[in-house]
A and B are shown apart, each in its own frame.
Chain A
Amino acid sequence: MKLGKVIGRVVSTVKVESFEGLKLLLVQPLDEKLEIYGDPIVAVDTIQSNIGQIIYYEVSKEASMVIEYVKNPCDAAIVGIVDEINLGE
């Protein structure tokens, strides 16, 4: 899993059947100090994340398992919303 920040929404009308009714969000990957790295990705959201929130997301096949209908082509999904990050020294 990786940390990320929700930076926008993706609206799509024509999409594969298994994506119907799902919320797609634009996520900017962050490191543990919340510094930006890499390019934004599109991730499926099932936990009602909002723009501006720090979240963590999973990529690859395992991401598709957040959706009830397992045979879907999702490769990034938001898994949780971060309340707090503690970095030990």
Chain B
Amino acid sequence: MLLGKVIGNVVSTIKVVGYESRKILIVQPVDPSGNAVGKSFLAVDTVQAGVGDTVITIDEGGSARVAIKEPKTFTVKCVIVGIVDNVSKEI
């Protein structure tokens, strides 16, 4: 799983079957201190996250389909699975 920060959302009318009424957010990966690392990506939201939230995201198909409660043949790889309240890095 990856820590990320929601920086925006994407509106889309034409999309593949199964994506209707799903919220797609732009996530910028961050390190534990909250600094941006690498390029942003898009993820399907399952936890009603919003812009500015720090979130936990999955970038792997099997787990993503479990999180989104869809059958085996659903095109999804990036899913937001949690909103982070606090990260404490101790070492």
Name the CB-closest residue of B to A89.
B51
Task: Tally B residues with Cβ within 8 Å of A.
Answer: 30
Find out whether the CB atom of A80 lies under 8 angstroms from the CB atom of B16.
yes
A82 and B51 contact, Cβ closer than 8 Å, known pairs A2-B42, A87-B26: no
Provide the main secondary structure of the chain B interface.
Answer: strand
Find out whether the CB atom of B10 lies under 8 angstroms from the CB atom of A58.
no
| A21 CB–B CB distance under 8 Å | no
Most chain B CB within 10 A, of A58, A65, A82, is at: A65
| B55 CB–A CB distance under 8 Å | no
- Residue of A31, A63, A80, A83 touching B40 (CB-CB under 8 A): A31
A47 and B39 contact, Cβ closer than 8 Å, known pairs A32-B7, A79-B75: no
Cβ–Cβ < 8 Å partners of B75 in chain A? 58, 62-63, 65-66, 77, 79
| B87 CB–A CB distance under 8 Å | no
Cβ–Cβ < 8 Å partners of B52 in chain A? 88
Cβ–Cβ < 8 Å partners of A66 in chain B? 16, 75
